[in-house]
Structure 1
């Protein structure tokens, strides 16, 4: 079985974000693959990202546990209907239906940690990374995360998924109870659409700050 990780918005280099998880999962016989979202590298929107995930899944012969982190949950929702996907894991993420964009879950005012640019992209203000998203991360993880921030087209946030994979696939929602970027109450509302809910006492990035605990959860899911 393979765990496929789909990273969140406004960052690049997915393999780095999962680098603390891959060796831990391998110790339990689970291989890993990661997807570099095109919208965070060359451009495009949610559908571009979904097509990239579909292509990746089509080249995997094993059964897949598909992990979507934050915005990555939108991509998992769009592309996670592939026949080899056994389980969806939403990690402080969004379970949209086909009428809902990520932007539709936002409040009336722009989030203060986001910066909108004239070219139609947006980015995370680097000075907000530590306090809002990485307060439990060690210094090495924090510096690595900061170095991988990038711009992303707003189209990724305004497109709606073409499928709602959680309606047909088993799913687990992982609430990160100390996340200051996606508030826990927002996560718990999203989690009502999942089959199972697990809470972690974690910031926004448990694969960096709590890799052992996250590994144990994914291993348990693989045995179901």
Structure 2
């Protein structure tokens, strides 16, 4: 694949969190379209960091021209690994963490007060090929509103809870082999009222990476749904330098 000229408009690729799916970006996608950007909301497999990053890398390989790669929460770990792809020109972390090489979420989170969501996650066994079992995590319906989406209408939170896709529990212990933010411009939107991913984790990793930071003090973990215009504008700001 030939490289695109630096003046080419970037494609924005959105990577969702665990216990979520690509529909969580619907409002952000609409807002980015209004700003004239091409957008792809990738389907994150949620089967482990190496697996998910490899899948995303294959998606990126099929895109001509530069890419602004956006990750929500665990999606931040995925873009940290997959963001090493040569056509990725900027990384945007939305209510996310920016892990270092060899640093799992569990190792990082031990430095901070734990999220109240961790002890409430539902663990369910699922079959793996050819023969085996693993454990996946989901958010109980009664926890989703108060702990994930406190700034949304309760009925909307119930819909999001019903749409969620469970995530393999290994995402807490998997660690990236590369930290793409070390060599590429990074942006981080910190959600100050987040009860799923502690704001101190978001702030610490964003500052460590030298990212451009915007903090929304009243925003929940579901900021892409509750504040799609603000999230889209933040992504658009990151895309402007990439567009030359």
Q: TM-score, normalised by structure 1?
A: 0.90
How far off is 1:19 after superposition?
0.9
Inter-CA distance 50–134: structure 2 relative to 1 (3 Å threshold): same
For structure 1, which runs of at least 5 residues remain unmatched after alignment? Answer: none
Work out the CA distance in 2 between the residues paired with 1:207 and 1:186. Answer: 19
Does residue 1:131 correspond to 2:131, yes or no?
no
Does residue 1:217 correspond to 2:234, yes or no?
yes
Work out the CA distance in 1 between the residues paired with 2:162 and 2:174. Answer: 27
Work out the CA distance in 1 between the residues paired with 2:220 and 2:120. Answer: 16
Partner of 1:195 in structure 2? 211
Equivalent positions of 1:1-224 (< 5 A) are 1-12=10-21, 14=22, 16-39=23-46, 44-107=47-110, 111-118=118-125, 119-139=134-154, 141-192=156-207, 193-201=209-217, 202-224=219-241
Work out the CA distance in 1 between the residues paired with 2:169 and 2:198. Answer: 21
Q: Is the 8 A contact 1:67 1:89 kept in 2?
A: yes
Aligned-residue RMSD, C-alpha: 1.9
Helix, strand or coil: the match of 2:36? Answer: coil
Q: Is the 8 A contact 1:46 1:157 kept in 2?
A: no
Work out the CA distance in 1 between the residues paired with 2:196 and 2:171. Answer: 18
Tell me whether 109-118 or 192-201 shows the greater mean CA deviation: 109-118
Tell me whether 147-156 or 2-11 shows the greater mean CA deviation: 147-156
Helix, strand or coil: the match of 2:233? Answer: helix
Larger Rg: 2
Q: Is the 8 A contact 2:149 2:221 kept in 1?
A: yes
For structure 2, which runs of at least 5 residues remain unmatched after alignment? Answer: 1-9, 126-133
How far off is 1:166 after superposition?
0.6
How far off is 1:210 after superposition?
0.6
How far off is 1:139 after superposition?
4.6
Work out the CA distance in 2 between the residues paired with 1:122 and 1:27. Answer: 35
Work out the CA distance in 2 between the residues paired with 1:211 and 1:151. Answer: 23
